[in-house]
Every structure is written in structure tokens, then in C-alpha cells.
Structure 1
Amino acid sequence: MSVLATPDIREDEDLRQTVDPDRPWQTVVWNDPVNLMSYVVRVLRTYFGYSREKATRLMLAVHNEGHAVVAEGPHEQMELHAQAMHDYGLWATIRKAGL
């Protein structure tokens, strides 16, 4: 007689939470001691096409809070955005949204 193992529902729920393909990724720009605030605004306006108001709001978050989420979407696109920020001389990383 064989005993059938029943799946642990909690393990399945934990797996779904850690591997959630629907959860987007974020590009995060970090504060640094090098770049002027006006330069960060210019980069955000130039690269992302943000309005002066939105770029300024994001720059102030970077300055005052140490970082800001500047974009959200698929992993590959966020990697491209982070690389672009590096090319402009800004510090940037990517992370899963909601973390």
C-alpha cells in the first residue's frame, strides 16, 4: 500500500509570493554626493520625458529620503533604465515592487 503525500498548501502560497511574475520591477535612483540637483532633474526630464514638476518631485525625494523609484515595469526594461542612469553618472538599482 502506498501513501500519497498531500502538498503543503502554505508552501505553495509562499512560493507564489516569492515568484510572482505579475509583480513589476522598479528602477531606484539613489542620492550621491556628486551630482547637482539640477542635473538630476535634467536627466529625469531628458531620459524619461518627465515634466519639470515630476522630475523635481523625484529629485527632492532622492535628496531628502535618499532614494526614489523613478520607473516601474518589466525586469528587462528596468535593467535598461538603471544602466542608462549609470551612463548619466547617477547611482541606480532595480528591485521587485512592493519590497
Structure 2
Amino acid sequence: MSTTAGSTLTDEATDLATDLRTLPQRPYQVVVWNDPVNLMSYVSWVFRTYFGHSRKRAEHLMMQVHTDGRAIVASGAREEAERDVTAMHNYGLQATLEGAE
């Protein structure tokens, strides 16, 4: 008969969970995609308003979305990036999350 009393399995599992929490988190990127609906001025305004980008940076990102079809507008921890993608959806922009390389 097997018991867990005196087993190191729970200690090892605890150590593994601690190790995983202390690993650096992989950064994620927020990608905004071009669409035929939103005006370029609106997209630039969203980037300035939500992300706090300067007018010059926001217009550069907006032009990247317009000409390249997409732009990486923010990066960070997964939870932050998920929040940003949701915010972009709430502003009516098409956005996705992808792992940074």
C-alpha cells in the first residue's frame, strides 16, 4: 500500500510551481490590423488616448497599420497585452495578441 506521508512528491511539486513563478515571463505583443472601417485619424487618436503615444509615434503606427496591414502597438506581460487587445476591440479596432520573439 502506498501513502504520500513522507513523500517528497508534494515538496517537488511545490518547488516546481515556485520555479515557474520566478521564471521571466515571455513578452507578448499587441498587434492592430488594418480594416476598411476606421478613419486613420481615429486610429491615431486611439493610440494617443489609450496607449499615451505621442502624436508623432501614433501617426507612425497608424501609417504602419495602413501601409503594412498591421503594427505592433504595445508589448508586455500576457495579462497586460490581453487587456490592451480587449480595449482595442472596445474601440472598434481589430487587434490580436502574439508572443514576442
In our comparison, the structure showing a higher alpha carbon Rg is 2
Match of 2:92? 89
Cα distance in structure 1, aligned partners of 2:26 and 2:89? 24
Match of 1:30? 33
Match of 2:82? 79
Deviation of 1:47 (Å): 0.3
Secondary structure of the equivalent of 2:84? helix
Deviation of 1:23 (Å): 2.7
Q: Which amino acid aligns with 1:31?
A: N
Cα distance in structure 2, aligned partners of 1:36 and 1:65? 16
| TM-score normalised by the chain length of structure 1 | 0.77
1:16-55 to structure 2, matched below 5 A, reads 21-55=24-58
5+ unaligned residues in a row in structure 2: which ranges? Answer: 1-22
Cα distance in structure 2, aligned partners of 1:51 and 1:43? 11
| TM-score normalised by the chain length of structure 2 | 0.75
Same amino acid, percent of matched pairs: 58
Cα distance in structure 1, aligned partners of 2:74 and 2:51? 9
Secondary structure of the equivalent of 2:75? strand
Cα distance in structure 2, aligned partners of 1:28 and 1:97? 11
Structure 1 residue runs of 4 or more that deviate by more than 6 Å after TM superposition? none
Counting matched residue pairs gives 79
